[in-house]
Structure 1
Amino acid sequence: MTMDKITSGFGLIAVLGGVARMLMTPGALIWGSDSMPELWAGLIACYLMAIGSIGIYMYEAVRTGVLGFIGCLLLSLGNMMTGCLVWSTILKAEPSEAALFLPIVNNALMLIGLVLFSFVTFRAGQLPRWAAVMLLIWVFLGFIPALSSWLTLLWGLAYVGLGYPVWRNNPHH
Protein backbone atom coordinates (compact mmCIF):
# COMPACT_ATOMS: atom_id res chain seq x y z
CA MET A 1 0.00 0.00 0.00
CA THR A 2 1.40 3.37 -0.99
CA MET A 3 1.56 6.47 1.16
CA ASP A 4 -0.91 8.17 -1.20
CA LYS A 5 -3.48 5.42 -0.56
CA ILE A 6 -2.94 5.64 3.20
CA THR A 7 -3.36 9.41 3.10
CA SER A 8 -6.47 9.01 0.94
CA GLY A 9 -7.91 6.53 3.44
CA PHE A 10 -7.31 9.01 6.27
CA GLY A 11 -9.08 11.62 4.13
CA LEU A 12 -12.12 9.36 3.95
CA ILE A 13 -11.96 8.98 7.73
CA ALA A 14 -11.94 12.80 8.03
CA VAL A 15 -15.06 12.97 5.84
CA LEU A 16 -16.82 10.33 7.94
CA GLY A 17 -15.78 12.16 11.11
CA GLY A 18 -17.20 15.38 9.70
CA VAL A 19 -20.50 13.67 8.85
CA ALA A 20 -20.68 12.16 12.34
CA ARG A 21 -19.99 15.60 13.84
CA MET A 22 -22.76 17.13 11.72
CA LEU A 23 -25.18 14.47 13.02
CA MET A 24 -24.78 15.97 16.48
CA THR A 25 -26.85 19.00 15.41
CA PRO A 26 -30.14 17.17 14.76
CA GLY A 27 -29.46 15.05 17.84
CA ALA A 28 -29.20 18.14 20.01
CA LEU A 29 -32.12 19.95 18.39
CA ILE A 30 -34.50 16.98 18.50
CA TRP A 31 -33.57 15.20 21.75
CA GLY A 32 -31.68 17.97 23.57
CA SER A 33 -28.11 18.76 24.47
CA ASP A 34 -26.22 15.79 25.92
CA SER A 35 -28.87 13.37 24.62
CA MET A 36 -27.68 9.87 23.81
CA PRO A 37 -27.98 10.35 20.00
CA GLU A 38 -25.92 13.55 20.18
CA LEU A 39 -23.34 12.03 22.51
CA TRP A 40 -22.88 8.87 20.40
CA ALA A 41 -22.49 10.90 17.22
CA GLY A 42 -19.98 13.10 19.05
CA LEU A 43 -18.02 10.16 20.41
CA ILE A 44 -17.70 8.58 16.97
CA ALA A 45 -16.81 11.96 15.46
CA CYS A 46 -14.06 12.61 18.00
CA TYR A 47 -12.07 9.51 17.16
CA LEU A 48 -12.65 9.67 13.41
CA MET A 49 -11.62 13.34 13.37
CA ALA A 50 -8.52 12.59 15.44
CA ILE A 51 -7.41 10.08 12.81
CA GLY A 52 -8.68 12.13 9.87
CA SER A 53 -6.68 15.17 11.01
CA ILE A 54 -3.54 13.14 10.49
CA GLY A 55 -4.54 12.45 6.88
CA ILE A 56 -5.26 16.11 6.23
CA TYR A 57 -1.84 16.99 7.65
CA MET A 58 -0.10 14.25 5.64
CA TYR A 59 -1.65 15.60 2.45
CA GLU A 60 -0.30 19.09 2.99
CA ALA A 61 2.73 18.30 5.20
CA VAL A 62 5.32 19.67 2.78
CA ARG A 63 3.62 23.07 2.80
CA THR A 64 2.61 23.25 6.46
CA GLY A 65 5.81 21.89 8.00
CA VAL A 66 6.43 21.81 11.74
CA LEU A 67 3.58 24.21 12.54
CA GLY A 68 1.18 21.94 10.66
CA PHE A 69 2.49 18.93 12.56
CA ILE A 70 2.07 20.69 15.91
CA GLY A 71 -1.44 21.85 14.99
CA CYS A 72 -2.36 18.34 13.85
CA LEU A 73 -0.92 16.77 16.99
CA LEU A 74 -2.77 19.19 19.30
CA LEU A 75 -5.99 18.78 17.33
CA SER A 76 -5.77 14.99 17.35
CA LEU A 77 -4.98 14.88 21.06
CA GLY A 78 -7.81 17.32 21.77
CA ASN A 79 -10.26 15.19 19.80
CA MET A 80 -9.15 12.04 21.63
CA MET A 81 -9.47 13.77 24.99
CA THR A 82 -12.89 15.11 24.02
CA GLY A 83 -13.88 11.55 23.13
CA CYS A 84 -12.86 10.41 26.61
CA LEU A 85 -14.89 13.22 28.19
CA VAL A 86 -17.90 12.36 26.02
CA TRP A 87 -17.57 8.71 27.01
CA SER A 88 -17.57 9.66 30.69
CA THR A 89 -20.73 11.72 30.05
CA ILE A 90 -22.39 8.74 28.35
CA LEU A 91 -21.53 6.62 31.40
CA LYS A 92 -22.67 9.41 33.74
CA ALA A 93 -19.33 9.06 35.52
CA GLU A 94 -18.38 11.62 38.12
CA PRO A 95 -14.75 12.70 37.70
CA SER A 96 -12.41 12.56 40.64
CA GLU A 97 -10.93 15.79 41.92
CA ALA A 98 -7.66 14.90 40.20
CA ALA A 99 -9.42 14.87 36.82
CA LEU A 100 -11.30 18.17 37.15
CA PHE A 101 -8.57 20.01 35.23
CA LEU A 102 -9.00 17.81 32.11
CA PRO A 103 -11.74 19.92 30.46
CA ILE A 104 -9.52 23.01 30.80
CA VAL A 105 -6.54 21.20 29.26
CA ASN A 106 -8.80 19.81 26.55
CA ASN A 107 -10.20 23.24 25.69
CA ALA A 108 -6.70 24.70 25.48
CA LEU A 109 -5.46 21.85 23.23
CA MET A 110 -8.48 22.16 20.93
CA LEU A 111 -8.32 25.96 20.76
CA ILE A 112 -4.61 26.15 19.99
CA GLY A 113 -4.73 23.13 17.68
CA LEU A 114 -7.73 24.39 15.69
CA VAL A 115 -6.37 27.91 15.28
CA LEU A 116 -2.92 26.69 14.26
CA PHE A 117 -4.27 23.94 11.99
CA SER A 118 -6.73 26.34 10.30
CA PHE A 119 -4.06 28.98 9.83
CA VAL A 120 -1.44 26.72 8.25
CA THR A 121 -4.05 24.97 6.09
CA PHE A 122 -5.30 28.32 4.81
CA ARG A 123 -1.75 29.57 4.24
CA ALA A 124 -0.69 26.39 2.42
CA GLY A 125 -3.49 26.90 -0.12
CA GLN A 126 -3.47 23.23 -1.04
CA LEU A 127 -6.94 22.44 0.32
CA PRO A 128 -10.12 24.50 0.04
CA ARG A 129 -9.57 27.72 1.92
CA TRP A 130 -13.28 28.09 2.66
CA ALA A 131 -13.07 24.94 4.82
CA ALA A 132 -10.06 26.27 6.76
CA VAL A 133 -11.88 29.58 7.30
CA MET A 134 -15.02 27.71 8.39
CA LEU A 135 -12.98 25.76 10.91
CA LEU A 136 -11.50 28.98 12.26
CA ILE A 137 -14.91 30.69 12.42
CA TRP A 138 -16.23 27.72 14.37
CA VAL A 139 -13.57 28.32 17.02
CA PHE A 140 -14.69 31.87 17.65
CA LEU A 141 -18.43 31.25 17.33
CA GLY A 142 -18.00 28.57 19.98
CA PHE A 143 -17.90 31.31 22.59
CA ILE A 144 -21.59 32.12 21.85
CA PRO A 145 -23.68 29.63 23.88
CA ALA A 146 -26.90 30.19 21.88
CA LEU A 147 -25.18 28.74 18.79
CA SER A 148 -23.79 25.60 20.41
CA SER A 149 -26.31 23.16 18.88
CA TRP A 150 -25.65 24.53 15.39
CA LEU A 151 -21.87 24.78 15.58
CA THR A 152 -21.26 21.07 15.26
CA LEU A 153 -22.82 21.34 11.80
CA LEU A 154 -20.24 23.97 10.85
CA TRP A 155 -17.36 22.01 12.39
CA GLY A 156 -18.35 18.82 10.60
CA LEU A 157 -18.82 20.58 7.27
CA ALA A 158 -15.30 22.03 7.57
CA TYR A 159 -13.90 18.52 8.05
CA VAL A 160 -15.86 17.20 5.08
CA GLY A 161 -14.51 20.11 3.02
CA LEU A 162 -10.92 19.38 4.05
CA GLY A 163 -11.14 15.60 3.99
CA TYR A 164 -12.93 15.13 0.66
CA PRO A 165 -10.10 16.43 -1.57
CA VAL A 166 -7.61 14.40 0.48
CA TRP A 167 -9.73 11.29 0.00
CA ARG A 168 -10.21 11.93 -3.71
CA ASN A 169 -6.63 13.26 -4.06
CA ASN A 170 -8.04 16.34 -5.78
CA PRO A 171 -7.18 19.68 -4.12
CA HIS A 172 -9.34 22.81 -4.44
CA HIS A 173 -12.61 20.95 -5.09
Structure 2
Amino acid sequence: MSITTSRLGQAAGVAAVVAGTIFVLVQINHPPMGVASVSTTDWLVRSTAKTVMAALALAGITGMYLRQRAVVGAFGLAGYLLLSVGYLLMFGTEFAAAFVLPAAATSSPGFVNDVVVAAFGGHAAGDIGALTTVFALTGATYVAGGLVFGIATFRAGILSRWAAVLLAVGNVSTLALAVLPESFNRPLAVPTGIALVGLGWSLWRDQRRETSGVAAATGTATAAARPQAAVR
Protein backbone atom coordinates (compact mmCIF):
# COMPACT_ATOMS: atom_id res chain seq x y z
CA MET A 1 0.00 0.00 0.00
CA SER A 2 1.48 3.32 -1.09
CA ILE A 3 1.57 6.20 1.37
CA THR A 4 -0.27 9.11 -0.19
CA THR A 5 -1.37 12.52 1.08
CA SER A 6 -4.96 11.27 1.23
CA ARG A 7 -4.02 8.25 3.31
CA LEU A 8 -2.07 10.44 5.71
CA GLY A 9 -5.17 12.64 5.94
CA GLN A 10 -7.27 9.60 6.78
CA ALA A 11 -4.77 8.63 9.49
CA ALA A 12 -4.98 12.14 10.94
CA GLY A 13 -8.77 11.84 10.99
CA VAL A 14 -8.56 8.55 12.88
CA ALA A 15 -6.09 10.12 15.32
CA ALA A 16 -8.54 12.95 16.05
CA VAL A 17 -11.43 10.50 16.56
CA VAL A 18 -9.37 8.43 19.01
CA ALA A 19 -8.16 11.58 20.80
CA GLY A 20 -11.69 12.88 21.23
CA THR A 21 -12.93 9.51 22.47
CA ILE A 22 -10.14 9.32 25.04
CA PHE A 23 -10.83 12.88 26.17
CA VAL A 24 -14.47 12.04 26.85
CA LEU A 25 -13.80 8.68 28.53
CA VAL A 26 -11.18 10.00 30.97
CA GLN A 27 -13.76 12.43 32.37
CA ILE A 28 -16.04 9.62 33.57
CA ASN A 29 -15.82 9.04 37.35
CA HIS A 30 -12.67 11.15 37.51
CA PRO A 31 -11.14 11.10 41.02
CA PRO A 32 -10.80 14.30 43.08
CA MET A 33 -7.80 16.39 42.17
CA GLY A 34 -5.51 16.23 45.18
CA VAL A 35 -2.25 14.78 46.42
CA ALA A 36 -4.09 11.70 47.73
CA SER A 37 -5.04 10.71 44.19
CA VAL A 38 -1.64 11.24 42.61
CA SER A 39 -0.12 7.92 43.72
CA THR A 40 -3.06 5.78 42.62
CA THR A 41 -3.22 3.51 39.57
CA ASP A 42 -6.31 5.41 38.43
CA TRP A 43 -4.28 8.63 38.26
CA LEU A 44 -1.50 6.93 36.29
CA VAL A 45 -3.90 5.41 33.78
CA ARG A 46 -5.86 8.62 33.24
CA SER A 47 -2.78 10.85 32.99
CA THR A 48 -1.13 8.44 30.55
CA ALA A 49 -4.32 8.39 28.48
CA LYS A 50 -4.38 12.20 28.44
CA THR A 51 -0.75 12.23 27.29
CA VAL A 52 -1.64 9.96 24.36
CA MET A 53 -4.73 12.07 23.69
CA ALA A 54 -2.70 15.27 23.38
CA ALA A 55 -0.28 13.66 20.90
CA LEU A 56 -3.13 12.23 18.79
CA ALA A 57 -5.05 15.52 18.89
CA LEU A 58 -1.96 17.35 17.61
CA ALA A 59 -1.68 14.89 14.71
CA GLY A 60 -5.40 15.28 14.03
CA ILE A 61 -5.49 19.08 13.88
CA THR A 62 -2.36 19.04 11.73
CA GLY A 63 -4.22 16.94 9.17
CA MET A 64 -7.23 19.26 9.42
CA TYR A 65 -5.11 22.34 8.84
CA LEU A 66 -3.27 20.84 5.87
CA ARG A 67 -6.60 19.91 4.26
CA GLN A 68 -7.85 23.50 4.61
CA ARG A 69 -4.64 25.49 4.30
CA ALA A 70 -5.49 26.93 0.88
CA VAL A 71 -8.77 28.31 2.22
CA VAL A 72 -8.22 29.34 5.84
CA GLY A 73 -5.26 31.63 5.17
CA ALA A 74 -3.28 33.37 7.90
CA PHE A 75 -6.24 33.33 10.29
CA GLY A 76 -6.47 29.55 10.14
CA LEU A 77 -2.70 29.20 10.45
CA ALA A 78 -2.75 31.34 13.61
CA GLY A 79 -5.49 29.17 15.09
CA TYR A 80 -3.63 25.99 14.21
CA LEU A 81 -0.36 27.23 15.72
CA LEU A 82 -2.04 28.40 18.93
CA LEU A 83 -3.93 25.15 19.37
CA SER A 84 -0.79 23.16 18.57
CA VAL A 85 1.12 24.96 21.31
CA GLY A 86 -1.77 24.22 23.68
CA TYR A 87 -1.66 20.50 22.94
CA LEU A 88 2.14 20.38 23.09
CA LEU A 89 2.10 21.99 26.54
CA MET A 90 -0.73 19.69 27.58
CA PHE A 91 1.35 16.70 26.46
CA GLY A 92 4.24 17.85 28.65
CA THR A 93 2.15 18.55 31.73
CA GLU A 94 0.20 15.29 31.46
CA PHE A 95 3.44 13.34 30.99
CA ALA A 96 4.77 14.95 34.17
CA ALA A 97 1.50 14.20 35.94
CA ALA A 98 1.76 10.54 35.00
CA PHE A 99 5.46 9.86 35.56
CA VAL A 100 6.91 12.65 37.75
CA LEU A 101 4.31 13.71 40.31
CA PRO A 102 3.63 10.19 41.71
CA ALA A 103 7.33 9.78 42.53
CA ALA A 104 7.39 13.15 44.30
CA ALA A 105 4.11 12.68 46.18
CA THR A 106 5.74 10.86 49.10
CA SER A 107 8.80 13.06 49.57
CA SER A 108 7.24 16.42 48.67
CA PRO A 109 3.46 16.22 49.16
CA GLY A 110 3.14 19.99 49.63
CA PHE A 111 4.83 20.72 46.32
CA VAL A 112 2.70 18.14 44.50
CA ASN A 113 -0.47 19.54 46.02
CA ASP A 114 0.53 23.05 44.94
CA VAL A 115 1.15 21.84 41.38
CA VAL A 116 -2.25 20.14 41.21
CA VAL A 117 -4.00 23.20 42.63
CA ALA A 118 -2.23 25.55 40.18
CA ALA A 119 -2.97 23.24 37.25
CA PHE A 120 -6.67 23.79 37.81
CA GLY A 121 -6.53 27.54 38.16
CA GLY A 122 -5.95 27.79 41.90
CA HIS A 123 -3.19 29.62 43.74
CA ALA A 124 -0.23 27.59 44.93
CA ALA A 125 0.77 28.19 48.54
CA GLY A 126 4.44 27.54 47.80
CA ASP A 127 6.93 28.08 45.00
CA ILE A 128 6.40 25.85 41.95
CA GLY A 129 8.77 27.76 39.68
CA ALA A 130 7.82 28.32 36.04
CA LEU A 131 4.92 25.88 36.21
CA THR A 132 2.49 28.71 36.98
CA THR A 133 3.43 30.35 33.69
CA VAL A 134 3.25 27.03 31.84
CA PHE A 135 -0.27 26.35 33.12
CA ALA A 136 -1.42 29.87 32.22
CA LEU A 137 0.07 29.58 28.73
CA THR A 138 -1.51 26.17 28.23
CA GLY A 139 -4.94 27.52 29.10
CA ALA A 140 -4.56 30.64 26.96
CA THR A 141 -3.40 28.82 23.83
CA TYR A 142 -5.98 26.06 24.29
CA VAL A 143 -8.84 28.57 24.51
CA ALA A 144 -7.64 31.03 21.86
CA GLY A 145 -6.48 28.30 19.50
CA GLY A 146 -9.74 26.37 19.75
CA LEU A 147 -11.75 29.53 19.12
CA VAL A 148 -9.75 30.76 16.12
CA PHE A 149 -9.26 27.31 14.57
CA GLY A 150 -12.94 26.49 15.06
CA ILE A 151 -14.02 29.72 13.36
CA ALA A 152 -11.57 29.21 10.49
CA THR A 153 -12.77 25.64 9.98
CA PHE A 154 -16.41 26.73 10.00
CA ARG A 155 -15.74 29.45 7.44
CA ALA A 156 -13.78 27.06 5.20
CA GLY A 157 -16.81 24.78 4.90
CA ILE A 158 -14.70 21.71 4.10
CA LEU A 159 -15.04 19.79 7.36
CA SER A 160 -18.06 19.40 9.63
CA ARG A 161 -19.37 22.82 10.57
CA TRP A 162 -21.28 21.70 13.67
CA ALA A 163 -18.07 20.13 15.03
CA ALA A 164 -16.11 23.31 14.25
CA VAL A 165 -18.64 25.37 16.22
CA LEU A 166 -18.52 22.88 19.09
CA LEU A 167 -14.72 23.07 19.18
CA ALA A 168 -14.79 26.86 19.44
CA VAL A 169 -17.57 26.93 22.04
CA GLY A 170 -16.20 23.97 24.00
CA ASN A 171 -12.71 25.40 24.37
CA VAL A 172 -13.91 28.90 25.24
CA SER A 173 -16.40 27.54 27.79
CA THR A 174 -13.50 26.37 29.96
CA LEU A 175 -12.98 30.01 30.92
CA ALA A 176 -16.09 29.65 33.09
CA LEU A 177 -14.17 27.26 35.35
CA ALA A 178 -12.62 30.32 36.99
CA VAL A 179 -15.95 30.98 38.71
CA LEU A 180 -17.65 27.57 38.64
CA PRO A 181 -17.24 24.79 41.21
CA GLU A 182 -14.69 22.00 40.56
CA SER A 183 -17.53 19.62 39.69
CA PHE A 184 -17.91 21.43 36.34
CA ASN A 185 -14.36 20.53 35.24
CA ARG A 186 -15.40 17.20 33.72
CA PRO A 187 -18.66 18.12 31.94
CA LEU A 188 -17.06 21.15 30.28
CA ALA A 189 -14.36 18.97 28.73
CA VAL A 190 -16.86 16.71 26.94
CA PRO A 191 -17.87 19.14 24.13
CA THR A 192 -14.25 19.46 22.97
CA GLY A 193 -13.90 15.68 22.91
CA ILE A 194 -17.05 15.33 20.83
CA ALA A 195 -15.83 18.10 18.52
CA LEU A 196 -12.56 16.24 17.89
CA VAL A 197 -14.49 13.09 17.08
CA GLY A 198 -16.76 14.97 14.67
CA LEU A 199 -13.94 16.80 12.92
CA GLY A 200 -11.81 13.66 12.73
CA TRP A 201 -14.63 11.63 11.22
CA SER A 202 -15.32 14.43 8.73
CA LEU A 203 -11.64 14.55 7.72
CA TRP A 204 -11.48 10.77 7.34
CA ARG A 205 -14.54 10.71 5.08
CA ASP A 206 -13.27 13.63 3.02
CA GLN A 207 -9.88 12.01 2.44
CA ARG A 208 -11.43 8.62 1.74
CA ARG A 209 -13.57 10.16 -1.00
CA GLU A 210 -10.47 11.79 -2.44
CA THR A 211 -8.60 8.47 -2.41
CA SER A 212 -11.52 6.71 -4.11
CA GLY A 213 -11.75 9.47 -6.72
CA VAL A 214 -8.04 9.27 -7.56
CA ALA A 215 -8.22 5.47 -7.81
CA ALA A 216 -11.24 5.67 -10.13
CA ALA A 217 -9.57 8.30 -12.33
CA THR A 218 -6.38 6.23 -12.52
CA GLY A 219 -8.35 3.13 -13.48
CA THR A 220 -10.21 5.01 -16.21
CA ALA A 221 -7.00 6.47 -17.61
CA THR A 222 -5.35 3.05 -17.66
CA ALA A 223 -8.30 1.46 -19.44
CA ALA A 224 -8.36 4.24 -22.02
CA ALA A 225 -4.66 3.86 -22.70
CA ARG A 226 -4.79 0.11 -23.43
CA PRO A 227 -6.40 0.28 -26.91
CA GLN A 228 -3.88 2.90 -27.95
CA ALA A 229 -1.06 0.67 -26.81
CA ALA A 230 -2.56 -2.21 -28.77
CA VAL A 231 -2.69 -0.16 -31.97
CA ARG A 232 0.96 0.71 -31.65
Question: TM-score, with normalisation over the residues of structure 2?
Answer: 0.66
- Whether the 8 Å CA contact 1:9–1:167 is kept in 2: the answer is yes
Q: Hey, what does 1:156 align to over in structure 2?
A: 193
Q: State the 1:27 CA deviation.
A: 4.4
Unaligned runs of 5+ in 2: 105-110, 116-127, 209-232
Match of residue 136 from structure 2:
104
The yes-or-no answer on 1:13 pairing with 2:15 is: yes
Cα RMSD, aligned residues only: 2.1
Are the counterparts in 1 of residues 9 and 207 from structure 2 also a CA contact under 8 Å? no
> 1:127·1:165 contact (CA, 8 Å) conserved in 2?
yes
Q: Partners in 2 of 1:117 and 1:169 — Cα distance?
A: 18
Aligned residue for 1:25, secondary structure, equals coil
4+ long deviations beyond 3 Å: 31-35, 93-96
Q: Of the two structures, which has the highest relative contact order with CA contacts closer than 8 Å and spacing of 6 or more?
A: 1
Residues 66-118 of structure 1, C-alpha deviation per residue, up to 9 Å, x if partnerless? Answer: 22122112111210101111122222165751343111111121122111101
Name which one, 1 or 2, has greater alpha-carbon Rg: 2
Give 1:23's aligned residue. 25
Range with bigger deviation, 154-163 or 4-13 = 4-13
User: Partners in 1 of 2:132 and 2:152 — Cα distance?
Assistant: 32
Aligned residues: 169
CA drift of 1:132 comes to: 1.1
Residue 26 of structure 2 aligns to which amino acid in structure 1? M
**Separation (CA, whole Å) in 2 of partners of 1:51 and 1:73:** 12
Residue in structure 1 matching 2:166, options 134, 138, 144 = 134
TM-score in terms of structure 1 length: 0.86
Unaligned runs of 5+ in 1: none
CA distance in 1, matches of 2:184, 2:149: 23
Matched residues in 2 for 1:168 and 1:127: separation? 9
- How do 1:1-173 and structure 2 match up within 5 A? 1-28=3-30, 31-33=31-33, 35-36=42-43, 37-90=45-98, 91-92=100-101, 96-142=128-174, 143-144=176-177, 145=180, 146-169=183-206
Task: Report if the CA contact (8 A) 1:24-1:153 is conserved.
Answer: no
Give the Cα separation in 2 of the matches to 1:115 and 1:75: 9
Hey, what's the Cα distance between the residues in 2 that align with 1:117 and 1:168? Answer: 20
